[in-house]
Amino acid sequence: MTEPRQRRTTEQLLADAGERLRATAGLPGRMSAIRGTAESADHTVRATVDVHGALTALHLHDAALGAGPDRLGDLIVQIAGDAHRAALHHGAGVLGDTLGDEAALEALRSANLPTDPDAPVLPYTPGVDPNAHRWNVIP
Amino acid sequence: MSEQRHRLEAALAAAGPIIGTASGDDGAVTVEVEVGGRIRAVRLTRHALRYGGKFLADTVLSVAAKATAKANQRAHQVYAQALGSRGESYLDQLGLSYDPAQLADEPAPPPRRAPAAPGGTANEYGDDPADYPETWMRRR
């Protein structure tokens, strides 16, 4: 299945480095645009946060106030935490697209998010889609 | 590089956990966040619920933004202490900047209409801005 990879020429390596610089230059912008959203089971509390976990939107249905001030405060913290985990997952994906699978897994591990131990970690070459051989092109 | 890292770790250890706390709605809503804005606690009083969900959500949102600005400002101080201005630009690159306007202790004044033109006589009634209507009744 895995064929020996051809050695890349100097020109290709230089082009790889240029591609990597271009990809990483846009990374802060792509990371800051990430949002994660979560909702309580009864849909009365919905929170959206950025990749750092800062609230960017909060919706509280009037029915949510019935829980009382203490439980409602705790529920907001819990839903915002769920939204943050979603944002971090998304962020790890964005990192992986730019820096490769190993960087994505490292980001998930450092954020204490579950990782799939069986996930294939493909060697990263800028500008080359490592999954290209898996494409099922429908003619 | 490793010396800088050592200095940063020492400064972070000396600073202790960096937490931003802010209150709003006359103390009815208090939010505690980590650097970056991850919410640690939301403390509400019964008073906070009196205007309904929309008002409370807006209050929590603005109080959380204020708490985040405080935490991020503290992080900027610690990083600047260890790494100088490079530390601050590093935090900005990570998206951990803050709006100094959020840090004023007094709540932001409500938006006002443009002040009266200086020297004009329009402001003869003192209290009202020049463009404040004399009456809300309209002629049709």
The pLDDT tens digits of the residues spanning A9-61 come to 888 888 888 887 887 788 888 888 999 999 999 999 999 999 999 999 999 99
A34 touches A53 (CB < 8 A): no
| A110 alpha carbon, distance to own chain's centre | 13
* A77 with B60: Cβ contact below 8 A: no
Confidence of residue B1 (pLDDT cuts 50, 70, 90): low
Query: What is the number of alpha carbons within 13 Å of residue B37 lying toward its C-beta?
Result: 27
Indicate the residue of B40, B49, B64 with minimum beta-carbon distance to A65: B49
* pLDDT at position A28: 83
Indicate the residue of A53, A63, A64 with minimum beta-carbon distance to B39: A53
* pLDDT at position B104: 78
- State the Cα–Cα distance between residues A130 and B4, nearest whole angstrom: 37
A42 vs B contacts (CB less than 8 Å): none
Report yes or no on whether pTM surpasses 0.95.
no
Helical (H) or strand (E) element with B39: strand B39-44
| Region B64-79 average pLDDT | 93
Q: What is the pLDDT of residues A77-120, one digit of tens each?
A: 999 999 999 999 998 888 887 777 777 788 788 777 777 777 76
Residue B126 has pLDDT above 60, yes or no: no
* pLDDT at position B108: 45
Confidence of residue B122 (pLDDT cuts 50, 70, 90): very low
More confident residue, A7 or B78: B78
B59 touches B31 (CB < 8 A): no
* A58 with B65: Cβ contact below 8 A: no
Confidence of residue A125 (pLDDT cuts 50, 70, 90): low
Please name the residues in contact with B132: beta carbons below 8 A apart, sequence gap of 6 or more: B113
* B53 with A32: Cβ contact below 8 A: no
| Region A119-128 average pLDDT | 66
Q: What is the pLDDT of residues B2-39, one digit of tens each?
A: 788 888 888 888 888 899 999 999 999 999 999 999 99
Buried b (16+ CB within 10 A) or exposed e, A14-49: eebeeebeeeeeeeeeebeebebbbebeeebbbbbb
* pLDDT at position A82: 96
* pLDDT at position A31: 87
